Chains A and B, each alone.
Chain A
Amino acid sequence: MNDALRSAQQHSAPAVHPPAERTAVIALAGQPNMGKSTLFNLLTGLNQHVGNWPGKTVEQRQGGFVHHQRTLRLVDLPGTYSLSANSPEEIIAREYILHEKPDLVVAVVSAAHLERSLYLVAELIALPAPLVVALNMMDVAAQQGIQIDVPVLEAALGVPVVPLVATRAEGVRRLLDVIEDCLTGSYLLPPRRLPAIRPDHQQVLDQAQQLITGFVPPDYPAAWTASKLLEGDGEILRQMQAHLPEERWESLHALLKAHDDAGLAIASGRYAWIERMLRAAVHRPIGGQMSLTDRLDRFATHPVLGLVILALILGAVFWLTFTIGAPLQEWLESALLMPLTETARGWLAAAPFWLRGLVIDGLIGGAGAVITFLPILVIFFSVFGLLEDVGYMARAAFVMDRLMHAMGLHGKSFLPLFLGFGCNVPAVMGTRVIESWPARLLTMLLAPLVPCAARMAVLAFLAAAFFGAQGALVSWGLVLFALLLLVVSGMALNRLLFKGERSAFIMELPLYHIPNLRTIALLVWQRSLAFIRKAATLILLFSLGVWALAVLPGGEMETSYLAQIGRFFAPLGRLAGLDWRLTVALLSSFLAKENAVATLGVLFGRGEDSGLAQTLATTYSPASGLAFMTIALLFIPCAATLAVLRQESGSWKWAAVNVLLMLVVSFAAGAGVYTLARALGG
């Protein structure tokens, strides 16, 4: 049993239930868009634990509930189309089933996409674990006139099949009863019918199995291992190379090399098996009418109209964020953060200055500032969750694919980058949707170039200070400029670091459906919780470190290490028209982006509301102001983003690469803007 599982057990059933004597572990498997999460949420409610699979940045969800005096521990396996393409998700799913040996595997399939969704079942059925098929989306299938003869399908598979409408909680009781019957061994069925390889490759499979017999590692069934070898599974190949004697490995290697098309023969065999099942159990109307999805996709995926629709949706999201999110943020600041600061100040009146500073400026100032972004994030997460659940997000990725191409990325990278407008932290975490590692890393490195809400706020203040009525126009121009630089950086990084490699763009467009508010609410809840947890741990630690730099050794910002660093870099800053104070302000924005303005307030001895704007406008030329705004918009990511970047990329190296990239881009852009503005007479 792994650590994550053990920790989930602490979240076991509420105490109101009688103590359960029997427990069982149930793994939930399924392809994406099959309603697996809906079923998981339905069964576990809020009694779930979200973490990572040990050693992987793949999300792991576990939960528990009690049924018939039995504690059921539900483990949500990553959603995968197959167990053969060697992605981390697929390896996690099958290693879990083979090594952790759950008491039962429940495979969620869609009645409306039975042909494709049975593919994963064709893989699971070959594994030595008890299996139940949850036939979800019966309502959608019925709408399309698809009739499924459940008893026939069950007999043909040799596996219990339970029809389900997870969005309406229909069939769940029956599913639980069937699970209980399977666990007690009282559900009787004919033997399983396993898929076979396409006949022209049967001999090769037999040869491979002969070669490995007697050398297969424990937990791996021999026939299954042989077929995985034919599919070219890297993990299994490594294992067999370690276990096989030299000459057997040589012959196996030669055999596999001569038949490198065998993987397709196995996939074809699985689909032939599926077609047999469907012929027996499914009646489908001939020639369907035009579905809602067809009609909506005429617009949503159109190369021009699709972009217009996307732009309108993005505009609506920004509008929502700034009309609802920003006032809420201000309210949080005045109703929560300021009283908290005052209370802390009162309590710590007698405490040494460093403790007061640590708690008020470091702790409350650092982590608190991040927390006030929660309203904006919740709005972003909600809209995101809604668009995802309805099925629109795949269309957004599709229409953006053309534009993302220039950077060697594809459409899927657009989604996390868009999230970056709210906050870069979830944007970096959101890159998990991208399958290929180079593409994911590149997206991660580019995400901090998306101006987040905090930087937009700084920009708005400075633009108004320096340019008055033209401020909004200048801000808009600078944001567009930042996005242009994002594209240019992406193109350059792609050439430099990734040698122009491009990952395959293959993406299912799910049917549109009515959103499930429960699923969205849980998603928003979990994402917000993950963000708060980050703010409470990683971000807090980082904030304290930067705060220490800003007060040590003397306790004053003007003489701190940070100011010394600022003075050290001042000659560089002068290239972009910045004096040491502006340079220090930039450095302090590393703690949290909105600090840039607060620091200037400290350095000029004026509050944000008491004339700082006028002071700035009279102290600096518009050229310096514009350069400062440009750099502030593009400067190194905040501590929080950097911490998450390190975590998601797995090394400080990539976090450092990102800092370097942002430093170069921001100073080059700043110096360029300054020189140009001076030349134009600014």
Chain B
Amino acid sequence: MTTPPLPLCDLKPGHQGTLLALNGGRGLTARLAALGFTPGVRIAMLQNYGHGPLLVEVRQTRVALGRGEAQRILITEQQS
């Protein structure tokens, strides 16, 4: 079961989501895509305190993202 789309920065720690779309410019999209952020990929939120940068795991890699960047990644949350 999935939820309506939400930006990655709203995903709570310990929760998982599936990437829907990247809304950044071409440069940001290219950098994110190279690190494994492509549509359909599973993203696990490791750390998110509601402010400041956040920490996610994607394709077995830990990636730190600025909140502004996470705002541009659209996901659906996976209910487990």
Q: Which residues of A contact B61 (CB under 8 A)?
A: 113, 116, 508
- Give the number of residues in A that approach B within 8 Å (Cβ atoms): 38
With both beta carbons as reference points, the residue of chain B lying nearest to A233 in the complex is identified as B30
A82 at the interface (CB under 8 A from B): yes
By Cβ-Cβ distance, the 3 closest A-B pairs, closest first, are A505-B66, A82-B34, A267-B33
Are B59 and A115 in contact, CB atoms less than 8 angstroms apart? yes
Are B22 and A507 in contact, CB atoms less than 8 angstroms apart? no
Return A94 CB to nearest CB of chain B, in Å. Answer: 13
Q: Which residues of A contact B34 (CB under 8 A)?
A: 81-82, 84-85, 119, 267
Once the chains are docked, how many angstroms separate the CA of A115 from the CA of B29?
19
Return B23 CB to nearest CB of chain A, in Å. Answer: 11
With both beta carbons as reference points, the residue of chain A lying nearest to B30 in the complex is identified as A85
Are A263 and B69 in contact, CB atoms less than 8 angstroms apart? no
Are A398 and B64 in contact, CB atoms less than 8 angstroms apart? yes
With both beta carbons as reference points, the residue of chain A lying nearest to B26 in the complex is identified as A232
B55 at the interface (CB under 8 A from A): yes
Say whether, besides A119-B34, A508-B61, A509-B62, A86 and B27 are in contact (CB < 8 Å). Answer: yes
Q: Which residues of A contact B68 (CB under 8 A)?
A: 502, 504-505
Q: Taking each of B30, B31, B36, B39, which has the highest tally of chain A beta carbons within 10 Å of its own beta carbon?
A: B30
A73 at the interface (CB under 8 A from B): no
A628 at the interface (CB under 8 A from B): no
Are B29 and A506 in contact, CB atoms less than 8 angstroms apart? no
B32 at the interface (CB under 8 A from A): yes
Are A260 and B60 in contact, CB atoms less than 8 angstroms apart? no
Say whether, besides A264-B33, A394-B64, A504-B31, A116 and B55 are in contact (CB < 8 Å). Answer: no
Are A401 and B28 in contact, CB atoms less than 8 angstroms apart? no
Q: Which residues of B contact A581 (CB under 8 A)?
A: none
Q: Which residues of A contact B55 (CB under 8 A)?
A: 297, 301, 398, 509
A590 at the interface (CB under 8 A from B): no
Once the chains are docked, how many angstroms separate the CA of A264 from the CA of B29?
7
A241 at the interface (CB under 8 A from B): no
A402 at the interface (CB under 8 A from B): yes
Q: Which residues of B contact A85 (CB under 8 A)?
A: 27, 30-31, 34
A271 at the interface (CB under 8 A from B): yes
Q: Which listed residue (B26, B41, B60, B62) contacts A271, Cβ 8 A?
A: B41
Q: Which residues of B contact A260 (CB under 8 A)?
A: 26
Return B31 CB to nearest CB of chain A, in Å. Answer: 5
Binary contact readout A405-444 vs B (1 if CB under 8 angstroms, 0 otherwise): 0000011000000000000000000000000000000000
Q: Which listed residue (B28, B35, B64, B66) contacts A116, Cβ 8 A?
A: B35
Return B58 CB to nearest CB of chain A, in Å. Answer: 8
- Give the number of residues in B that approach A within 8 Å (Cβ atoms): 34
Are B49 and A232 in contact, CB atoms less than 8 angstroms apart? no
A303 at the interface (CB under 8 A from B): yes
Are B62 and A505 in contact, CB atoms less than 8 angstroms apart? no
Is chain B's binding surface mostly helix, strand, loop or mixed?
A: mixed
Per the 8 Å Cβ criterion, residues 2-61 of B in contact with A are: 22, 24, 26-36, 38-41, 46-47, 49, 51-53, 55, 59-61
Q: A85-B27, A119-B36, A264-B38 are in contact. List 14 more A-B contacts (CB 8 A).
A: A113-B59, A232-B30, A267-B38, A271-B38, A297-B46, A301-B55, A303-B52, A504-B68, A505-B53, A506-B69, A508-B62, A508-B63, A510-B62, A511-B62
Per the 8 Å Cβ criterion, residues 362-398 of A in contact with B are: 394, 397-398
Return A501 CB to nearest CB of chain B, in Å. Answer: 12
A23 at the interface (CB under 8 A from B): no
With both beta carbons as reference points, the residue of chain B lying nearest to A119 in the complex is identified as B34
A89 at the interface (CB under 8 A from B): no
With both beta carbons as reference points, the residue of chain A lying nearest to B22 in the complex is identified as A264
Are A115 and B60 in contact, CB atoms less than 8 angstroms apart? yes
A268 at the interface (CB under 8 A from B): yes
Return A108 CB to nearest CB of chain B, in Å. Answer: 16
A231 at the interface (CB under 8 A from B): yes
Binary contact readout A212-231 vs B (1 if CB under 8 angstroms, 0 otherwise): 00000000000000000001
Q: Which residues of B contact A113 (CB under 8 A)?
A: 59-61
Q: Which residues of A contact B28 (CB under 8 A)?
A: 504
A202 at the interface (CB under 8 A from B): no
Q: Which residues of A contact B40 (CB under 8 A)?
A: 268
Once the chains are docked, how many angstroms separate the CA of A85 from the CA of B51?
28
Once the chains are docked, how many angstroms separate the CA of A507 from the CA of B36?
12
Return A607 CB to nearest CB of chain B, in Å. Answer: 52
A618 at the interface (CB under 8 A from B): no
Return A496 CB to nearest CB of chain B, in Å. Answer: 21
Q: Which residues of A contact B41 (CB under 8 A)?
A: 271
A334 at the interface (CB under 8 A from B): no
Return B28 CB to nearest CB of chain A, in Å. Answer: 5
Once the chains are docked, how many angstroms separate the CA of A82 from the CA of B59?
15
16 A-B pairs in the complex with CB atoms less than 8 angstroms apart: A82-B30, A85-B27, A86-B27, A86-B30, A115-B59, A119-B36, A264-B38, A268-B33, A271-B59, A398-B64, A402-B51, A410-B66, A505-B53, A505-B65, A507-B64, A511-B62
Are A505 and B27 in contact, CB atoms less than 8 angstroms apart? no
Once the chains are docked, how many angstroms separate the CA of A414 from the CA of B79?
38
Q: Which residues of B contact A84 (CB under 8 A)?
A: 30, 33-34
Once the chains are docked, how many angstroms separate the CA of A505 from the CA of B9?
14
With both beta carbons as reference points, the residue of chain A lying nearest to B72 in the complex is identified as A504
